[in-house]
Amino acid sequence: MTTFADLGLSEPVLEALRDIGYEKPSPIQAQGMPPMLQGRDVIGQAQTGSGKTAAFGVPIVEYVDPSDDDTQALVLTPTRELCIQVTQAVRGFGARKGVEVVATFGGAPIREQISRLRSGAHVVVGTVGRVLDLIDRGALQLGSCRFVVLDEADEMLDLGFLDDVEKILRRTPNGRQTALFSATMAPPIRKLADNFLYEPEHVKVKADTLTVDTVEQFFVEVATKDKPEKLAEVIAAERPRQAIVFCRTKIGTDRLFRLLKDRGNNVRALHGDLSQGQRDGVMLAFKGGRVPILVATDVAARGLDISTVTHVVNYDVPRSPDTYVHRIGRTGRAGASGRAITFVEPKQVREREAIEEHIGMAMTPWAPGATTPAGERRKAAAVVAAAEAPAGAAAPEEVEEARRARPRRGRKPQLNHGADEPGTRIVLVPGRADGVGPREVVEAITAASGLDGEAVRDVLVLERFALATVPADGAEDAIAAVNGRDGAAGALRAELLVAD
């Protein structure tokens, strides 16, 4: 199988996939779609970011009848963020066919969601609590529901939602087709599958191994009582641009947040006891670069894509090696390097060894200034790349450091800018939908204006545009330089971001 056309999809769905830019199925799509299209129940084991949304979303829109206003499919998600993400994806898959997709989640007016359901929703994507509430109110009728999908069931387990999931499943038709997707298969999830899925096809896609060359992994042996002081030492020594500090529990997260805040750190907390409005505020502040340290439970490890996260600290050893992979995958993104530091208590040596066996390498003991063999190789490669790279071309952090260290030999010197220097926010178009990433943004600005890489801060690439911060005294010159460029990279256009 090499294309979506080989799956026998209808032309409207194929056209929608082409519109989105899907060219060929990912492994989970290639393995998961055929049994779903055949009407079989499916258990899909795959990590976040593997393309599993299309693995269930495309078969759903293929068989939904747009002429029937009844709700024909239900997708349950553990969080509002994932609910919105899945809704947008399924809408895209069904756009050419006229499939109506409605998102239902907590933290938003329920009356508005009830109104949308009454107007007709072929597919409902919702968080567990809100879906159960809508069913109890009689606003969501599932008598015609042919498909049910449980997305990220392992996180539903972690958040304590499985009992409510069972209540919802009991209110759907016995003849439904059910798909369960989970990165791991803990015993409660296996039991759920045994009780509610009929002879499921088990599709397992091997998890991508960590890109060891982009994430340096360390451990610190520390007693429980000494962990706060050790964290302060790590933060002082590492000086992270942005760091996520992971705790196991909500109470532990709140306690550590208050301790760091009392010591004068600019820090926020993220956990399940926050209201949705509070969680949104925390995420906007962190994504916008206004908060350097985020203390979080594992709810933040799912789908969090921020290219400026330089460090992950596992203040508490994760519950499983898979969770470790999720956590430290939040750094070392978009071609940048990252550092992951795990606190290990004396009684947790076996947990550390299990992680090392899972990732296929040993962690390096941490000390101020410590590096790993992979880090040394990366820096050595950066020196070579810096010597060969043309002036002004964008590059990963190590290359930028190597460039700044090498002699300039007659070139016009570039001015270095500190992180505390006053900055001006600029907006650039287009965005992620047109293939623009953080590197393209930095390249467009630095190559055109002569600013060094460190001068471009807080890059945030969204679907249709991108944001970046440049030194205030050079913002207008940078914008003029970007807009005056020729060639493919010159497709980016910039202007000042003016608040309403």
Contact 296, 247 (CB under 8 A): yes
Better-predicted residue by pLDDT, 37 or 417? 37
Neighbouring CB atoms inside 10 A of 213's CB total: 14
Answer whether residue 388 is part of any domain: no
Rounded average pLDDT over 70-95: 90
Residue 430: cis peptide before it, omega within 30 degrees of 0: yes
Query: Among residues of the chain, what percentage have pLDDT more than 90?
Result: 39
Answer whether residue 386 is part of any domain: no
Q: Is 432 helix (H, G, I), strand (E, B) or coil?
A: helix
Answer whether residue 279 is part of any domain: yes
Better-predicted residue by pLDDT, 210 or 98? 98
Rounded average pLDDT over 161-188: 92
| Max avg pLDDT among 57-71, 286-300, 427-441 | 57-71
State residue 24's pLDDT score.
Answer: 83
Together in a domain, 322 and 437: no
Which sign, positive or negative, has the C-alpha torsion 250, 252, 258, 264?
A: negative
Answer whether residue 410 is part of any domain: no
Together in a domain, 258 and 365: yes
Per-residue pLDDT band at 107 (split at 50, 70, 90): confident
End-of-domain residue from the set 170, 204, 238: 204
Together in a domain, 111 and 72: yes
Better-predicted residue by pLDDT, 448 or 112? 112
Residues 6 or more apart from 172 whose CB is under 8 A from it?
74, 142, 145, 148
Tokens of 44: 């899909």
Q: Is the pLDDT of residue 304 over 70?
A: no
C-alpha span between 386 and 89 (Å, rounded)? 40
State residue 85's pLDDT score.
Answer: 81
Together in a domain, 307 and 340: yes
Angle, CA 182 vertex, CA 181 and CA 185 arms, to 5°: 125
Query: Among residues of the chain, what percentage have pLDDT more than 70?
Result: 81
Per-residue pLDDT band at 47 (split at 50, 70, 90): low
Domain count, the chain: 3
Beta-bridge partner residues of 45 = 182, 204
DSSP 337: -
| Max avg pLDDT among 145-154, 321-330, 355-364 | 145-154
End-of-domain residue from the set 204, 236, 267: 204
Rounded average pLDDT over 318-346: 81
Backbone angles phi, psi at 129, to 5 degrees: -65, -45
Rounded average pLDDT over 29-47: 90
- Domain with 37 in it: 4-204
Answer whether residue 352 is part of any domain: yes
Is the whole model's pTM more than 0.85, yes or no? no
Answer whether residue 411 is part of any domain: no
Together in a domain, 283 and 317: yes
Angle, CA 155 vertex, CA 84 and CA 286 arms, to 5°: 55
State residue 409's pLDDT score.
Answer: 37
How does the average pLDDT of the chain come out, rounded? 81
Answer whether residue 474 is part of any domain: yes
